[in-house]
Amino acid sequence: MKWLYASPPRLLVIGFALIIFIGSQLLRLPVASATGQPTPYIDALFTATTATCVTGLVTVDTGTHYSTFGQIVILLLIQIGGLGFMTMATLFAFFLKRRISLKERLILQEALNQSSIEGIIRLVRRVVLYALAIEATGALLFAIRFLFDMSPGRAVYYGIFHAVSFFNNAGIDIMGNFRSLTDYVGDPLVNIVTMLLIITGGLGFVVLSDLTDFRRNKKLSLHSKVVLSMSGFLILFGAVVIFVFEYSNPGTMKPLPLGEKILSAFMQSVSPRTAGVNTLDLATLRQATQFFIVVLMFIGASPGSTGGGIKTTTFTALIGAVYAMIRGKEDVVLFRHRLAQERVYKALTVTLLSLTLVMVATMILSTTEDHHFLKILFEVTSAFGTVGLTMGLTTQLTLTGKIIIILMMFIGRLGPLTLGYALGPKPGRVLYRHAEGKIIIG
């Protein structure tokens, strides 16, 4: 079988596509539906994609359309998609006491977005340990809170489902009627636990590992410093902007007490980091806020995490390059460390490819869907950033619209560069360099 000898990026694409296909076949079964009727294949495929790509956009309501069997299938797809199918495969290999081959280590390196295979197995062990510990803690806290609203068995089930979904930045909920967490807009426990799950899932496992070792090493890597500082800035700045824009909006924050205003501002700032959870009705937000959230969704989470977007490190590298150019400096310096030129080129490539994909998909949907432009842009960016926030367009998509959004979720989860490496020809060795030329810029 030729595909077994494919490059790591190509195997990653094949693996994710295979999981989505299997998931879609399970979700279209009558037993997966609450009514006992088969789900239309396009909706089953859409749900399998959004779960595996940990996005959260849904064409049918997860809480009411799917049976317990269907919801468990979705939960497993979220877990596999969030941690990566190679991480899960490696976990099974540990249990079977099977040796991890070099090929498998290279795929893990690509899946976890690492620069080398050194220490990759140790990182996988930590990934699984951190994920299970954080999810279990979140599930327990959610279950305790939900006990006040439902039966013990249902509270535990709801706690597990939402803890796994939110930590993996999927944002898929089973509250019913597409209402997400709007019923808990003023609940401190639900909001704080949700935000902590989203943030820890979006920081990346390398950063979590660094933070765990900080007590012993007394230092953080440059990567962790960049991720933590940029993530903190985006959350705080985002909360302030949303609070200011929505403070007097009668459709969102105006009726809320000051404490709930602040809580909802932070939730709406954290959620675009690819989580897809909302406590305010996004359709009633001011257009300025909606567009600002589009920007946050495009930036997304951090490398090696359960989230999507162009990533915080990419955004930081671009800001650093602009700053260096304005100051007339040759090097991009972050925390007294110089970035290699190749890293800056990669950041620029990822951003331009991502921007192009979002623009092309938005133009296509603007032709096939009869909706406001900002609503379409919001939906496309949410799909590409694997966020899952929506202004209500998902359920109204045409067949063409659903296919485009499925493709955007798939590309967003894998990353445009990984997909490019997988589909493109194997690069050959360059034997010469062209003469230097000059063009006028700016």
Place of tokens 């499925």: 406
Bigger pLDDT: 8 vs 278: 278
Nearest to 214 by CA among 203, 204, 225: 225
Taking every pair of Cα atoms in the chain, the longest distance, rounded to a whole number of angstroms, is: 73
How is residue 47 written in tokens? 């749900």
CA 101 vs CA 66, 105, 107: distances in Å: 39, 6, 10
Tell me whether residue 339 is in a domain: yes
5 contact partners, CB below 8 Å, separation of at least 6: none
Provide the domain limits for residue 189. Answer: 2-421
Give 36's DSSP letter. Answer: S
Distance between CA atoms of residues 299 and 293, nearest Å? 10
Tell me whether residue 398 is in a domain: yes
Tell me whether residue 434 is in a domain: no
User: What's the total number of domains in the chain?
Assistant: 1
User: Do 277 and 198 form a contact (C-beta atoms < 8 A)?
Assistant: yes
pLDDT of residue 102: 61
Distance between CA atoms of residues 251 and 235, nearest Å? 23
The DSSP bridge partners found for residue 337 are: 334
Q: Is the dihedral of CA 414, 86, 304, 332 positive or negative?
A: negative
| Most confident among 81-95, 103-117, 186-200, 299-313 (mean pLDDT) | 186-200
pLDDT of residue 176: 81
Tell me whether residue 187 is in a domain: yes
Nearest to 230 by CA among 129, 104, 119, 316: 316
pLDDT of residue 4: 47
Distance between CA atoms of residues 238 and 236, nearest Å? 5
Bigger pLDDT: 213 vs 190: 190
Q: Give the whole-number percent of the chain exceeding pLDDT 70.
A: 86
> Following DSSP, what letter does each residue of 120-176 receive, concatenated?
HHHHHHHHHHHHHHHHHHHHHHHHHHHTTTS-HHHHHHHHHHHHHHHHTT-----SS
Tell me whether residue 436 is in a domain: no
Distance between CA atoms of residues 336 and 357, nearest Å? 34
CA 401 vs CA 148, 359, 361, 370, 376: distances in Å: 40, 14, 9, 11, 10
The predicted-structure confidence for 147-172, as pLDDT tens digits, reads as follows: 998 899 999 999 999 999 999 888 88
The DSSP bridge partners found for residue 334 are: 337
Phi, psi angles (nearest 5°) of residue 94? -60, -45
The predicted-structure confidence for 44-57, as pLDDT tens digits, reads as follows: 999 999 999 888 89
What is the pTM assigned to this prediction?
Answer: 0.88
Residue 239's SS3 state is helix
